[in-house]
Amino acid sequence: MRGRMRGRTRGRTRGRTRGRTRGRTRGRTRGGRKGEAEGKERQKERRGRRKGRRKGRRRQAEEDKQKKTSRRKRSGKEVEKKWKRNRQVEEDRQKEKKKTN
């Protein structure tokens, strides 16, 4: 199948290069597609984006880490509040019982 290929054929070769391994020839970059000089770093970021995230994996991880720690702190405080409140309720109940007796 020679000539121009229609549709989504980027990165797939037909005909000409079958069986001949292509080294990094002119116009090929280390990372991305032909003509787009993109290194591995950007490629890694893009990998995360493909999985339905807006930001790349590597940036995402950093942000998640920060979020997680703050969330943990917050949840700890809330738990503490809860059991203080519960203890208060318990003590009040005990007092009520003593009063009635």
Q: Who wins on pLDDT, 70 or 28?
A: 70
| 85: its two tokens | 């409140």
Q: Is residue 63 part of a domain?
A: yes
Residue 45 in contact with residue 56, Cβ under 8 Å?
yes
17 falls within a domain: no
Would 80 be classed as within a structural domain?
Answer: yes
CB-based contact 34:13 (threshold 8 Å): no
Domain coverage including residue 94? 40-100
Domain assignment present for 4: no
C-alpha R_g of the chain: 31
Q: How confident is the model at residue 18 (pLDDT cuts 50, 70, 90)?
A: low
Q: Is residue 78 assigned to a domain?
A: yes
Q: Is residue 35 part of a domain?
A: no
In a domain, 8, yes or no: no
Give the residue with greater pLDDT, 99 vs 48: 99
pLDDT at 75 over 60: yes
Selection from 71, 51, 38, 40 nearest residue 60 by Cα:
51
pLDDT digits (tens, 9 = 90+) for 19-67: 555 555 555 555 555 555 555 566 666 665 555 555 545 555 566 666 6
Q: Does residue 20 fall inside a structural domain? A: no
Structural domain tally of the chain? 1
